[in-house]
Structure 1
Amino acid sequence: MPDKEMQAYRTIIKRYKHKAQLLRQIHSDQYSIYQSRSNLLNAGCIILATLITVISVANISDFLNFLNVYFETNIDINFGKNVFSGAIALLSFMVLFMSLADLILGWRNKYMNHGSGVKLLTSFITATNEVETLIENDSLEDEQAKIKIEEMKKRYELIGEFLPLTPDQEFLNSKQKYLIKRKLSEELDEDPCLNINLKNNIKRYRKK
């Protein structure tokens, strides 16, 4: 394969790979955000449900009598029972609200969609690396290389149609993070002993 055509193919592959790596960073960040929110709601539901169970099976009268005797309180038993009943009703409503919130906001579906996008993009990047290696090793004829590039283009377009939308600000934040990671990776290649703390370095570069 002529050097000029090989260089052109390598440029196309690198462009697609760069776009895919950027998109993977964006959807990976979105996956982490929505998964954390969904997990937080689920954890809240579990904790509240546990409290409801404990309060429901507890003998409220004995508990209140214990408080009155050993701590010299003067809590009315009937009033105390009403308070605990109200607490159970309130906690049950909160569990219902949190369960509906996850369904209405769609955080679970969103993080699953972004996670699927990350997997597709990772597979695409792996495929581009393989094609790039074949071209560099001159293992493909010119016509075969053109077919591979066309397949790559169609696959990238199909993945783009599947990927969920990302807010503009989140897109820019993730793009900035991706570019900073690339710069840090280059610095690490030059100095393997460099102390790399991604979080601190992102803050450092953002301040410049």
Structure 2
Amino acid sequence: MHYIDSEGRYFTKRLLIEANNAAIRENRNRKLKEEYLEKLPHDMVYPISLSFDEHNRGEIRVQIVFDEKGTTGFLDMTKNRYNLLPKAIYHNDGTVELETEEMINARRLYPEGREYTETVGRKLIRDSSFRIKVLNAYSNQCAMCELDDVSVLIAAHIHPAHLCEDDTVNNGICLCKIHDKFYEDGDICVRANGEIFLQNKNIKIDYDKIRFPINKADHPSPKRLNKRLEISLSRF
């Protein structure tokens, strides 16, 4: 994952809703709440303060500023959609020049109101023995609960394999399907010391820390946990 310049790109409310609808249709990881977007003023623009490209995914995650208080949210979109966004020009005298509606519409791939879906090919490099190694390390038990039914246990990558190509046991945690989904979505986070904390307060969990493998050599990598935490904390 590497950071890229946002190039002064911004959303109008209409473009923001269109991009969010696309993220919902395309089942992307980071989407915004539709009811929140509907309440935004129509006469404002919403600049991108940060954007970063995820390797091998053809996808960009953008951080959007919603108000003068600095309220932000994250949205995933294809590089193609990102490249079609308008750019603001910032002058030395402090003024900002925005693109006209005509300029914005001239770049549209389809007429306004016509929705389309873009798919992104994702190359996943997986070691077939990864699941066996991780489940064995955690004695076939979820690290966040007592569940020990192998049929519902997942060898969850801490830092996604398509970003780091790490299929070692130190980049894995054994989780049940429920906790794996919450971990994947960023609702449940894990610090480098194994401490669990919740971004979604509607979730209840009995453990304060993940249960570590008996063998210290199989413990999750603090470096990988920190990298995953960076991703999880980008959740809106």
TM value normalised by structure 2:
0.24
Name the structure with the higher helix share.
1
Q: Which has the larger radius of gyration?
A: 1
The structure with the greater share of residues assigned to strand is 2
* TM-score, normalising length: structure 1: 0.27
